[in-house]
């Protein structure tokens, strides 16, 4: 395996490995004796590392013309694992997102993954859509926004109610676009989906 491919795959796997560190700090910052005012900056740093690894692994693979089938599978899988894990974790702790809202993201990803697998079994490869890439960016922005909102909350600049309400609307709007991108994907590939379903 070429060195560039190994490096790109390492970055993808490193992104997955950073996820439990994020979750552990968020959920157990008090037991770790991390102050509430410091915790958001630590989470932002981890998020930044995740996003940079996502950018660099793709750039490295494309520039060296070493885009592999494994990379095509692992990269979006890593994105889903990281973002869905973080959003599910935000149903706990100080953010307290409603579980039903986060399940929208889980259901959308599960539905699209199932359709891709179904079509692949029938020899139909469903390409990713631009709306799906936009969805990933919006989800990343939403997570950054929630962690950023922790900063004024930790400094008593906003109340817990305002903080949680703001987080809810950020994720609600993101969930709306996530649903739209899912339906757009299904509508665009409806011909392939019908053939595979038969």
Separation between Cα atoms, residue 143 and residue 80, nearest integer Å? 13
CB 153 within 8 A of CB 160: yes
| pLDDT tens digits along 41-83 | 999 999 998 888 777 666 665 666 655 555 566 677 778 888 9
Separation between Cα atoms, residue 29 and residue 34, nearest integer Å? 5
Residue 5: is its pLDDT beyond 90? no
Say what the pLDDT of residue 58 is: 61
> What does the angle CA 131 – CA 135 – CA 137 come to, to the nearest 5 degrees?
120
Query: When comparing pLDDT for 78 and 32, which is higher?
Result: 32
Sign of CA dihedral 92, 97, 100, 104: negative
- Helix pair angle (69-89, 99-121), 10° resolution: 160
Separation between Cα atoms, residue 74 and residue 68, nearest integer Å? 10
Q: Which residue matches tokens 């996003």?
A: 51
Task: Pick the range with the lowest mean pLDDT from 29-33, 47-51, 170-174, 187-191.
Answer: 187-191
The values of phi and psi at residue 82, to 5°, are: -65, -50
Q: Under 8 Å CB-to-CB from 56, ≥6 apart: which residues?
A: 8, 11
């Amino acid at each position: 395996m070429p060195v560039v491919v190994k490096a790109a795959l390492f970055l993808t796997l490193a992104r997955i490995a950073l996820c439990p560190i994020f979750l552990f700090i968020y959920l157990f910052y008090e037991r770790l004796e991390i102050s509430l005012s410091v915790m958001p900056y630590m989470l932002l740093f981890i998020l930044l590392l995740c996003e940079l690894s996502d950018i660099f692994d793709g750039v490295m693979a494309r520039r060296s013309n070493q885009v592999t089938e494994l990379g095509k599978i692992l990269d979006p899988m890593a994105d889903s694992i990281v973002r869905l894990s973080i959003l599910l974790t935000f149903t706990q702790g100080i953010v307290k997102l409603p579980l039903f809202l986060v399940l929208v993201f889980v259901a959308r990803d599960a539905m699209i993954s199932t359709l891709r697998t179904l079509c692949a079994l029938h020899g139909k490869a469903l390409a990713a859509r631009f709306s799906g890439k936009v969805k990933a960016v919006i989800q990343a922005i939403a997570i950054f926004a929630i962690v950023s909102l922790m900063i004024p909350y930790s400094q008593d600049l906003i109340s817990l109610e305002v903080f949680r309400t703001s987080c809810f609307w950020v994720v609600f709007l993101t969930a709306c676009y996530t649903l739209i991108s899912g339906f757009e994907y299904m509508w665009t590939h409806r011909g392939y989906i019908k053939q595979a379903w038969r």
